Structure 1
Amino acid sequence: MNTEVSQVPTGLRVDAQANRDRILAVAHELFAERGLDVPMAAVARRAGVGVATLYRRFPTRESLVSEVFAEQFGRCASVVQDAVEDPDPWRGFCTVIGEVCAMQAADRGFSAAFLAMLPPELDAEEERERAFAGFAKLTDRAKAAGRLRADFVPEDVILVLMANNGITAEAADVAEAASRRLAAYLIDSFRAERASELPPPAGLSLRDLD
């Protein structure tokens, strides 16, 4: 009897995990197809679960977005951390620009998520803030090495992301090729040796990306 009782919750846990995995997979598809504003009811319908089940697992749209793209947000933070540890700060800087642009181009849903404003208590927002703080340190090192133009500010990476985001509307193969070329153009413009005077910074922050 005890054995039978213990098997029931195990089965329920498996079902709950299957529902959760299906919700995340479907949400990723829909975010890529239709953007982050897709109705939660549409996610539940395609996943084959009730709306109440969806909200029980993910109480807010932001919590669903955070979980769907948790791996990519973590990868961004790791890319920046590896770049900060690179003994050549300019190489690290170029790697960050190239990698983040490539991630955007490869996943339209992630591009929208990265540019969205998420509540600060979510893990994804913490990862994004951590990545930005690391990038700020990297820019200081690249400037000190005389490789990055002196008037570059860390917030300029937001301009890079906004520009690259427009490319993601193209077909995947076109978007990836165009993103690589855009990143190369931008990196070349960031070199200290050919810098000419720029207008003042736009005053953007991550909170302006909603």
Structure 2
Amino acid sequence: MLRADAQDNKDRIIAAARALFAERGLDIGMREVARHAEVGPATLYRRFPTKQALIDQAFDVELSSCRAVVEESCADPDPWHGFTSAIERLTALNTRNRGFVDAFLSATPGGAAFERHRRELLAMLAELASRAKAQGRLRPDFVIDDLVLILLAGRGLGSVPPARRDAAARRFAGLAVDAFRAPVIAS
């Protein structure tokens, strides 16, 4: 157990990292995090010897939230509704935290936690997509990389002014859902 002052420093470091990563992505340097947390670099490195250790700790809540969205969507008895719900909720979640999206979708992740979560969640979403295809609601040529592409494109929503971000996320998700909808074949 940490002393109270050490725990306070750790909490401030995590809060600073979350705020900076969410706003500006993962290109933030460790010294900038230390300045923002009002601690010295030695204090930061004592608690988080690597940037990846800080990223893992800073995004622990986001990983749990992302997993909950996917699990709830996959549990929906209507696969199409579950699939569209996942798109809408993940898009909304991702607009709030640029750094998390960068870490989660990175082609070369540094953290085992992100790699494991990404692999597991994408497998769950691929299974959900297969059920939505079998239902005839999801376009037959859909592949899971299409969803990854939408999530990557949605990163740009973080640059929308905060007052308009939720509306932009809903609109973007709606357009993505329309793009994934199976075509109606006239009889």
Normalising by the residue count of structure 1, what TM-score does the alignment of the two structures yield?
0.80
Instruction: Report percent identity of matched pairs.
Output: 46
CA RMSD in angstroms comes to 1.8
Alpha-carbon separation, structure 2, partners of 1:114 and 1:124: 6
Structure 2: state its 5+ residue gaps: none
Q: Which structure has the larger Rg?
A: 1
Change (3 A) 1:70 1:182: same
Identify which of 6, 17, 34 aligns with 2:7: 17
Q: How many residues align?
A: 184
Superimposed CA distance per residue, residues 131-169 of structure 1 (whole angstroms, 9 cap, x where no aligned partner): 111111111111111111110001111110121111211
Change (3 A) 1:61 1:111: same
Matching of residues 108-119 of structure 1 within 5 Å:
108-116=98-106, 117-119=108-110
Alpha-carbon separation, structure 2, partners of 1:61 and 1:35: 13
Superimposed CA distance per residue, residues 17-48 of structure 1 (whole angstroms, 9 cap, x where no aligned partner): 11111001111122233321111011112212
In the TM superposition, structure 1's runs of 4+ consecutive aligned residues that sit over 4 Å from their partners are none
Matching of residues 38-77 of structure 1 within 5 Å:
38-77=28-67
Matched, 1:137 2:116: no
Identify which of 148, 164, 170 aligns with 2:154: 164
Identify which of 26, 48, 52 aligns with 1:36: 26
Partner of 1:187: 177
Superimposed CA distance per residue, residues 55-91 of structure 1 (whole angstroms, 9 cap, x where no aligned partner): 2211221221121111111111111111111111000
Alpha-carbon separation, structure 2, partners of 1:179 and 1:46: 29
Partner of 1:94: 84
Alpha-carbon separation, structure 2, partners of 1:69 and 1:32: 10
Matched residue SS, 1:147:
coil
Q: Which moved more, 1:43-52 or 1:175-184?
A: 43-52
Alpha-carbon separation, structure 2, partners of 1:13 and 1:43: 21
Identify which of 128, 144, 147 aligns with 2:118: 128
1:70–1:124 contact (8 Å) kept in structure 2? no
Change (3 A) 1:113 1:89: same
Alpha-carbon separation, structure 1, partners of 2:162 and 2:136: 36
Matched residue SS, 2:3:
helix
2:22–2:98 contact (8 Å) kept in structure 1? yes
Superimposed CA distance per residue, residues 160-191 of structure 1 (whole angstroms, 9 cap, x where no aligned partner): 01211112111112222111101101101211
Letter in 2 for 1:163: A
Matched residue SS, 1:99:
helix
Partner of 1:81: 71
Letter in 1 for 2:176: L
Partner of 1:153: 143
Structure 1: state its 5+ residue gaps: 1-9, 196-210
